[in-house]
Amino acid sequence: MATQVKSESKLALLAFIKEKKDVLFGKFTSELDKNRKTSAWKDALIKAQSLQIVASTRDWTYLRDNVFGVWKTRAMAKKDNRKKTGSEGGKDRKLTEVDNAVLDIVGRDSPVMEGLPIGETGNFVPTEIYDSQISNPDIAADQLELSTPAAQLSRKSRQLKRKSDTAKQILVAQKEAKLELMKLQIYKTKLEALKLERELNLPRSGFTKEFEPPYIVEIELDRFTPV
């Protein structure tokens, strides 16, 4: 069974991210470039790995999109549900300490696109993934990765390639079968020509020259008999 990530670990990571939020989420300027943002996310990744939130094999984009992105999605959607219903109760509306910590980072007035759970990178998060508590970020985020448009497009591309490969194999087999049939037709025609030449005592033509002794053609045209 997956080990549950404790709220204390999540809050510790979120506190670290909050300290660096101006760099992590700030707009690009002459002083804040891509390299500086990347470096800050790598620092956050080291923190997440030390808290055993993210596996050592993951990179910083995984932390940004598939861990923090999922937490942000859940918190924003809960906040949006509270506004729509005017109620603070219910699992899909009750904000946890982690949710509040996320909202303190992204801003409580950040828009949610029509109440749909939208991840950090703008990808739609399926309700069944969003609604579940992340007991193991690697598992939940892997499900999220498979739901993104890029992943879906990749699956469709692989399916189309398999269909294309199958169609090519069938086409090649059909061509080979037609070629064999054509060879048999030519062979049969040559045998018929050879029989006619023998009956009319005609010299061997270029078409039947290959049928030289020690073989002669039987009348039935379906077997050879050595001379």
Q: Is the pLDDT of residue 63 over 90?
A: yes
- Do 40 and 114 belong together in one domain? yes
- Do 32 and 89 belong together in one domain? yes
Please give the residue that has the higher pLDDT: either 208 or 180. 180
- Do 51 and 15 belong together in one domain? yes
Please give the C-alpha separations between residue 71 and each of 4, 50, 59, 144, in angstroms, as whole numbers.
14, 19, 17, 12
Q: What is the pTM for the complete model shown?
A: 0.48
- Do 135 and 207 belong together in one domain? no
DSSP calls for 169-216? HHHHHHHHHHHHHHHHHHHHHHHHHHHHHHHTTPPPPTTTTT--TTEE
Q: Is the pLDDT of residue 114 over 50?
A: no
- Do 19 and 123 belong together in one domain? yes
In this structure, of 25-39, 42-56, 121-135, 151-165, the range with the lowest mean pLDDT score is 121-135
- Do 69 and 128 belong together in one domain? yes
Q: Quote the DSSP letter at residue 113.
A: G
Q: Is residue 120 part of a domain?
A: yes
> Which residue is associated with the tokens 């990571």?
13
Q: Which residues contact 66 (CB under 8 A, 6 or more apart)?
A: 137, 140, 141, 142, 144, 145
CA distance 8 to 15: 10
- Do 25 and 128 belong together in one domain? yes
In this structure, of 19-33, 45-59, 97-111, 135-149, the range with the lowest mean pLDDT score is 135-149
Q: Is the pLDDT of residue 218 over 60?
A: no
What's the whole-number average pLDDT of the chain?
Answer: 75
- Do 207 and 138 belong together in one domain? no
Confidence (pLDDT) at 204: 80
Q: Is residue 74 part of a domain?
A: yes
Final residue in a domain of this structure, among 128, 147, 166? 147
Residue 203, number of CB atoms within 10 A of its CB:
7
- Percent of the chain's residues with pLDDT above 90: 26
> Are the C-beta atoms of residues 20 and 44 closer than 8 Å to each other?
yes
- Do 90 and 181 belong together in one domain? no
Q: Is the pLDDT of residue 50 over 90?
A: yes
Range of the domain at 213: 174-226
Residue whose C-alpha is closest to residue 65's, from 148, 158, 171, 3: 148
Q: Is the pLDDT of residue 208 over 50?
A: yes
Final residue in a domain of this structure, among 108, 132, 147? 147
Confidence (pLDDT) at 90: 55
Confidence (pLDDT) at 14: 95
Q: Is residue 1 part of a domain?
A: no
Question: Mapping DSSP to helix (H, G, I), strand (E, B) and coil, where does residue 164 land?
Answer: helix
- Do 131 and 61 belong together in one domain? yes
Q: Quote the DSSP letter at residue 157.
A: H
Number of domains the chain is built from: 2
Mean pLDDT of 188-210: 84
Detail the DSSP E strand segments found in the chain: 215-217, 224-226
